[in-house]
Structure 1
């Protein structure tokens, strides 16, 4: 699949080998900063992380490096213009904040004291996402060494936010406020991974998400079920009926209009998904589950990556203590979330959900219904030239191996970049499932991390032709 000349591959590898130790030493310094955005007491560390990255990017050669303030944690912006006036512009997205971590959570070592064992670096943020942000610093320098250039072949921008692990509450506002500075022909997201160590893959899209909370109120207090049961509406019963009606017998979401506009999988996409070495038994073990269940007519991977879903995240109401308590409860609660795919508009989904829920609430039940901030889905077509370019860069890094395509079942702020900047979003990541994102003993495979450096170096040389030929 790779069209990269062997000489360029060897030059990039030689440069990386020469600078490997310094690169890893710098990464260790950054990983030592406990930039946990979810913990208010770590706000100073999150800022220190942004300042550290700013200095590192300036040292790399970026002539413009700025810390951008938000209503929460700071982000970092950097820009390195190409010396080619016709060069396309590429924006790299990542984040410098990390999940909480403490030794007592089950870590074998201190989570913010990186340790290398058997070619693996253990530390919070090693894979998610500092390691995968940082490989671009060595990647761009390797690109310059291999091409003899003094500036990248693309105008290269970076946006590294500080609140991704807290739900990116201010990211959309940040992107809209700086849309002119962030304008790009393509966006590269390096907050992702690949199928396995021996199966290099490129992600082509992420699902969006919408969620809601429903509070139902019946009597003003719990009342005797013998005296009043069967004669007044029971909010817990109403919640149960709503949940029972959410899916039909084929596990399709039963809300009218829910599937309107959904971009269906093509036969080619289904064939590519089927080619992946998927072990359903192993996947179930990872899921801590004992059987698969989902929309009829689709495989497990198709359901997770390319189909919209409705999930009951929480349900409650009535007496939960030991023994019986014969009451009609005063209230009941329901939390729902909806994973969305390309072609679905979160605002339309919220209206459909709202109308469907309200229609099922009987007289005598009061309610409160609220929706969280939605995230849009994003998807890059398989034939997009920029996607082909990412695949070629990955193939060059992996000795010409065939690069396969995946999607991501989760959601993230990448869709905001696609939405505001009107640019295709591509994914370049080398993390593998065993890296343990968000878990104790998070790690990154150093050999794969350096493959990420290689892919980054090759990508900046390949993208100009791909984007000009759109």
Structure 2
């Protein structure tokens, strides 16, 4: 275990807490909304502010990196069959968010055997306005009852910024002049816009970003009373299936029952997506899935999960999913397929007796470790083609894809995170996964390093919602964890790689 004295770390954090929060409030006032072109200047100002603050913290290298400079590869969408004359015009695609700068910082350890650790986070935020339901201006931070309210307080500026005080506390408590690890930071500027340029940035800068482990501070814990470490995130791919039948809408009395109906076939596809046990019925979909171990299932079951309370947050009335798995297993560790939208034909008031010429089906698939995005997409293509009758032409267009990532429970670097959090919180640390998706898999794939998650946010923080906040005491626990982590990883050295 690291010899960093706990009392010295805590004393330093307490002495510098007020100044740290003043700086964070200043950063939160910058409305760095990456999805809105009107805020492009604010996103850049946020990056420049952070780079300057990291230099002030002591990082000898701080740089603002431009994105969107690599030629984007063509879309992976492969139409199965393109109709000669679509009956309805295509809906224009939503323009991508403008490229936004990232921030890179580096602080070499000076120790020749020190491992290299990269911290990932993002400085852009979701849109927010007072009329959305905020009690106060979302970009004028307010402290109430031990909570800091502002857009970005938890997602993700607060969780990025705790590393600045954490590394200073680490140095002060150990007497070092540089961290015990070679410390790098990469703080993205367009995560809230889907990270469109992030994989390319990683490839372009891989030589500068090389590391033995990645720490992602863009996640959370189970609750205020149950500190946890996330061990993995699911991947994601989605598609739109456009179905074409007659060249125009036709009379259902004259032609219905004698020609194929695109809307009916869209409904058939949706209905065939799952079997009677609510497993995805696409052949080959589960190929490569890494199953939960008995120990992982036991750890999930130990969490204080209140299913009734969870259902209320889901605004639903009953659970339903793959047979043989608990709710937490279904949303964290099992692949899924969902119908996101279905439409076609007449949608106006009253009836209109037609066979519609077109229909659409939107599907999304959450992927778990061991699944290959390209193979899943091909399985979907094959499944659709096999189920459609003659006379129905179709196109399948896939959107962006995010790969899943998973760190084994016994990985040395994960154990360093667990020990550091345990010291800060003074209690055992449990384990979760994330049901959603993010850029962690890109970090893992491009840099070839394990990804660990260190976050202190809790569900009540309201990410993306009005009145987003961060619990200040938990924020300080994040600072303390970071202060312990670098020494622990250094002591475990290359065994953590």
Specify if TM > 0.5. yes
For each residue in 1:74-93, what CA deviation from the matched residue of structure 2 results, as whole angstroms up to 9, or x when unmatched?
00000000010110000000
- Kindly provide the CA deviation profile for residues 292-328 of structure 1, in whole angstroms up to 9, marking residues without a partner as x: 0000000000000000000001111111112111111
| Secondary structure class of the residue paired with 2:456 | coil
2:343 partner SS: strand
Q: Match for residue 405 of structure 1?
A: 431
- Correspondent of 2:301 among 270, 274, 278: 274
2:230 to 203, 206, 216: 203
One of 330, 335, 342 as aligned partner of 2:369: 342
* Structure 1 Cα separation of the partners of residues 384 and 218 of structure 2: 35
Residues 302-381 of structure 1: pairs in structure 2 closer than 5 A = 302-381=329-408
Counterpart for residue 171 of structure 2: 144
Is the contact made by 1:189 and 1:425 (CA closer than 8 Å) also made in structure 2?
yes
Residue 247 of structure 1 corresponds to: 274
Q: Out of 402, 405, 417, which is 2:443 matched to?
A: 417
Who is 2:44 aligned against?
A: 47
May I ask how many residue pairs the two structures share in their alignment?
A: 466
Report the equivalent of 1:175: 202
Q: Paired residue for 2:463?
A: 437
Q: Offset of 1:207 from its aligned partner?
A: 0.2
The answer to whether structure 1 residue 295 and structure 2 residue 295 are counterparts is no
Deviations, residues 401-421 of structure 1 (Å, cap 9, x unaligned): 000000000000010000011
Q: Does 1:454 align with 2:480?
A: yes
1:126 alignment counterpart: 153
Matched position secondary structure for 1:91: strand
Are 1:468 and 2:465 an aligned pair? no
Runs in 1 of length 4+ with deviation above 2 angstroms?
A: 465-470
Residue 60 of structure 2 is aligned to residue 63 of structure 1: yes
Distance 1:449 1:270 in 2: 29
Does structure 2 conserve the Cα–Cα contact (< 8 Å) formed by 1:97 and 1:165?
Answer: yes
CA distance in 1, matches of 2:124, 2:385: 39
Aligned residues of 1:386 and 1:467 also touching (Cα < 8 A): no
Does the CA-based 8 Å contact 1:207-1:408 persist in structure 2?
Answer: yes
- 3-state SS of the aligned residue for 2:362? strand
Residues in 2 aligned to 1:192 and 1:466: alpha-carbon distance in whole angstroms: 24
Following superposition, the deviation at residue 22 of structure 1 comes to 0.5
C-alpha displacement at 1:221, in angstroms? 1.6
Show the counterpart of 2:72. none
- SS of the aligned residue for 1:382 comes to coil
Provide the rounded CA distance (Å) in 1 between the counterparts of 2:198 and 2:381: 26
CA distance in 1, matches of 2:327, 2:264: 32
Q: Provide the residue aligned with 1:15 in structure 2.
A: 12
User: Aligned partners of 2:492, 2:259: CA distance in 1, in Å?
Assistant: 66
The C-alpha deviation readout for 1:259-309, integer Å capped at 9, x for no partner, is 111000000000000000000000000111100000000000000000000
Aligned-partner SS, 1:386: helix
| DSSP 3-state at the match of 1:254 | coil
Partner of residue 95, structure 2 = none
Cα distance in 1 between the residues matched to 2:348 and 2:238: 29
CA apart distance, 1:4 = 5.2
Secondary structure at the aligned position of 2:14 is classed as helix
Moved more, 227-236 or 356-365: 356-365
SS at match of 1:297: coil
CA distance in 2, matches of 1:467, 1:150: 19
CA contact (8 A) 1:4 1:396 kept: no
Q: Structure 1: which 5+ runs fail to align? A: none
Whether the aligned pair in 1 keeps the contact of 2:114 and 2:493 (CA below 8 Å) is: no
Distance of 1:352 and 1:181 partners within structure 2: 37
Once the two structures are TM-superposed, the CA of residue 469 in structure 1 deviates from its matched residue by: 3.0
Q: Where does residue 90 of structure 1 map in the other structure?
A: 117
User: Which consecutive residues of structure 2, in runs of 5 or more, have no partner in the other structure?
Assistant: 69-98
CA displacement 1:69-123 (0-9 Å, x = unmatched): 0121000000000010110000000000000000000000000000000000000
1:26 aligns with 2:52: no
Distance (Å, rounded) in 2 between the aligned partners of 1:19 and 1:455: 16
- 2-structure distance, mates of 1:357, 1:52: 50
Task: Return the TM-score normalized by structure 2.
Answer: 0.93
Structure 1, 359-368 or 201-210: larger mean CA deviation: 359-368
Residues 185 and 467 in structure 1, CA contact (< 8 A), matched pair in contact too: no
User: In structure 2, the residue corresponding to 1:359 is in which secondary structure?
Assistant: helix
The C-alpha deviation readout for 1:421-466, integer Å capped at 9, x for no partner, is 1100000000000000000000000000000000000001101122
Please give the root-mean-square deviation of Cα atoms over the aligned residues, in Å: 0.9
Instruction: Check conservation: 2:24, 2:158, Cα contact below 8 A.
Output: yes
Residue 74, structure 1, aligned to residue 74, structure 2: no
Distance 2:454 2:329 in 1: 21
Shift of 1:8: 1.1
Contact kept? 1:385, 1:467, Cα under 8 Å: no
Q: Secondary structure of 2:178's partner?
A: coil
Question: What SS does structure 1 have at the residue aligned with 2:483?
Answer: helix
- For the residue of structure 2 that corresponds to 1:252, the secondary structure is coil
Partner-residue secondary structure (3-state), 1:373: strand
